[in-house]
Amino acid sequence: MLTPPETIYMDAVLTPNRSLSRNGFLIAMTAIAVTFFLTGLIFLSMGALPVLGFMGLDILAIWLAFRISFRRQKEETRVTVTARAIRLHHKDAKGHEKRAELPSAFARVELDEPAGPASWLRIEHGKTAWIIGRFLTPPERSDLAKALRKALQAARSERYPV
């Protein structure tokens, strides 16, 4: 006998906001490199040879900062809410994965109000809490908390009809 499929009340994939596309990165780095090189040539013509090297180090530092930013943008969290459980699947920037499954009947969504940079969105069960959406802005965390609470309420009403 086949069991009916679970009703999914929320299935969200959370990813960091993109700061710049790949083409935008190439354009920005080209503009920075050309500007720094021309400025370095002006200093070189005045006899300040070390400035050209330091400008090259600046370009390298900017490139490294963008690379780190792009690597962190690979992070993602998937949140699935059904009547039976909340499933969390987090993949960090290095590809390491963590999974958790909590009973939706006993899970709580907590967010310190008003939402600020130091208020984390937590899904709690007992004495354990899972922080999700660290990379989201405070208004995005607040919106996600409202949507999660609404999905949990709908999931509980299926499980425990009034």
pLDDT tens for the chain, 162 residues long, are 566 678 889 999 998 887 788 899 999 999 999 999 899 889 888 888 888 888 889 999 999 998 888 888 888 899 999 988 999 999 988 889 999 999 988 899 998 877 777 888 899 998 889 989 888 888 899 999 999 999 999 888 876 666
> H or E element: which one contains 116?
none
- pLDDT attached to residue 3: 67
- pLDDT attached to residue 30: 94
Domain ranges of the chain: 8-16+76-159, 22-72
Specify whether domain 8-16+76-159 bears CATH 2.60.120.
Answer: no
- C-alpha distances in Å from residue 114, one per residue of 50, 138, 142, 155: 50, 9, 9, 26
> Taking CA 81 as the corner, what is the angle to CA 76 and CA 86, rounded to the nearest 5 degrees?
80
